[in-house]
A and B are shown apart, each in its own frame.
Chain A
Amino acid sequence: MPVVVAAVCPHPPVIVPELAFGAAPELDPLRAACLAAIDGLAAADSLVIVGSGPVGRRYDASAGGSFAAYGAPQVRVGDGEPVLPLSLLVGAWLVGQSKAAGVRRTSISVADDSPETCLALGREIAEGNDRIGLLVMGDGSARRSDHAPVHLHPRAEIFDATVAEALRSVDLDVLAALDPDLATVLQAAGRAPWQVLAGALRATTLTGNLTYGAAPYGVGYFVASFT
């Protein structure tokens, strides 16, 4: 069975209220959009969470993660040693609050691999026998504004707009063609995971809905669901 439902969410640490303190309400709309998209994954038999990481690896549902490295050791997911990279940590944290919390799941980190490798991983994910719900964690450019964490890049806005439109219209060719070198320059952590999504959705007829697209702190955040 293929991927029957999918969602895309961003993974900034600031999404965690225990890290944001008084800034937390600023991200209420983003959290709500993420949870609504992830609630939709509850319809699947199993969940696959994909996000960027230093190396490509698979983690089972019990894999631990902690926000200690960002200053909130009290916020944890899973059991045992914290091993999840940020993208999968935020993914697990969001899933844990959603209606999909009880669905069995696997997490997969993708390194900064070639588009071909990412597309192949997506196709492989979709080959399983389960009715899969796919959660793809990815951020747009961190160079969207003068006050962005990494200074404004003139191509950041158009890059993110291209991604947003591709997610909305499920234009898998556009996602597949995102240039890894440009994404690196623009510090867009979502490039490889979005290309996994493109590979996984190839055999489906899911339609897209972009429910959030903004850069409130100069980093592009997108939420999309595919049903």
Chain B
Amino acid sequence: MLRLGTRSFGPGEFAVMAIVNRTPDSFFDGGATFAEEAALSAIDQAVADGADLVDIGGVKAGYGEAVDETEELRRTVDFVASVRDRHPELLISVDTYRSGVARRVGAAGANLINDTWSGHDPDIAAAAAESGAGLICSHVGGLKPRTDPHRMAYDDVVADVIRTTTALAERAIAAGVRPDGIVIDPTHDFGKNTLHSLEVTRRIDELAATGWPVLVAMSNKDFLGETLDLPSGRRGPATLAAVSIAAWLGARVFRVHDIAGTRQALDLIAVLRKTATPAYTRRSLV
């Protein structure tokens, strides 16, 4: 069971995480929600579309403008508190690699710390634990924050993902994070070439077999663009296909831009897997 805030997600239950960046330069939205009002209305829309969680980021993942801890705090802490007031039931995740930020947003009401840079700051797990927040344990192949992969090589990329993320999960428990608040993320594209990300996607079942809830963050990413020769604005259908396969193979949390589309796909998969029932069935029965 994955427990975050007031919510619990059992095996077979899917959680949809919306992406809202408080950055002027993120790759997909290009800064659309840098301003507070725009970010709040994006969250309102995500909630209306069926998001269980929202992932708030104050620093672009890729290379770009330097954002120090003070500026990252300025972009996230009060905003988390506003979102908490506005949507008491919504689960709030914050995408940060800094323990100082994790500590402050946890106090402001964040339920989950999305440590995309794989424990770069060794104190981040303890910081998450302080407020009772959960932690996402990521795999970036040893990259430093905000750097891109150059000729990454793995004997077996899936084995490396499992080894790294489960070790981080154990370390998080040792640091006091609730075991039922831990999620592992293979972190597509980070420290991986496209063939590596495709291989990870094909073998999500091996990650799920570790027993840790698996999050996938594939939405509109470059591995889809390279695979299908598509620019970033046209990868929606490919994202949904990847999400569906990952869900079928056992992933449980989906970090995406298109909440409504993802929710619809996952709702169907839940019925196909018999963890949910059809909304209604009249056809040929009356």
Closest beta carbon of chain A to B197's beta carbon, Å = 10
CB distance from A10 to the nearest CB of B (A): 12
- CB of A1 closer than 8 Å to a CB of B: no
**Is A17 positioned at the interface, with any CB of B under 8 Å from its CB?**
no
Q: Cβ of A19 < 8 Å from any Cβ of B?
A: yes
Interface check A71, CB cutoff 8 A? yes
Query: Could you tell me if B150 and A69 are in contact, using CB atoms closer than 8 angstroms?
Result: no
Residues of A within 8 A of B153 (CB): 69-70, 86
Q: A69-B153, A69-B155, A150-B148 are in contact. Are A22 and B229 (CB under 8 A)?
A: yes
B71 within 8 A of A: no
Assembly CA distance A70 to B63 (angstroms):
23
Let me know if A128 is at the binding interface, CB within 8 A: no
Q: Are A150 and B195 in contact (CB under 8 A)?
A: no
Flag if B147 contacts A150 (CB, 8 Å).
Answer: yes
List B contacts of A71 (CB < 8 A): 193-196, 198-199
Residue-by-residue, is B181-198 near A (CB-CB < 8 Å gives 1, otherwise 0)? 000000000000111101
Tally of contact residues, B, Cβ under 8 A: 16
CB of B149 closer than 8 Å to a CB of A: yes
Contact string, A9-44, partner B, CB cutoff 8 A, digits 1/0?
A: 000110000010010000000000000000000000
Interface string of B131-164 (1 = CB under 8 A from A): 0000000000000000111110111000000000
Looking at chain B's contact residues, is the secondary structure mostly helix, strand, loop, or mixed?
A: loop
State how many residues of chain A have any CB contact under 8 Å with chain B: 15
Is there an interface contact between A149 and B150, defined as CB atoms closer than 8 Å?
yes
B152 to chain A, nearest CB (A): 8
Decide if A195 is an interface residue (CB 8 Å cutoff).
no
Using Cβ atoms and an 8 Å threshold, which residues of chain B touch A68? 155
CB distance from B140 to the nearest CB of A (A): 14
A184 to B53, CA, bound (A): 42
Q: Which residue of B lies closest to A142 (CB)?
A: B150
* Bound Cα distance A40, B81 (Å): 69
Residues of A within 8 A of B149 (CB): 149
Q: Measuring CB to CB, which residues of chain B are less than 8 angstroms from any residue of chain A?
A: 63, 147-151, 153-155, 193-196, 198-199, 229
12 residue pairs from A and B, CB less than 8 Å apart: A13-B151, A22-B229, A68-B155, A70-B151, A70-B195, A71-B195, A72-B195, A142-B150, A149-B150, A151-B63, A151-B148, A187-B150
Besides A12-B151, A151-B148, 18 other A-B contacts (C-beta < 8 A) = A19-B195, A68-B155, A69-B154, A69-B155, A70-B151, A70-B153, A70-B195, A71-B194, A71-B195, A71-B196, A71-B198, A72-B195, A86-B151, A149-B149, A149-B150, A150-B147, A150-B148, A150-B150
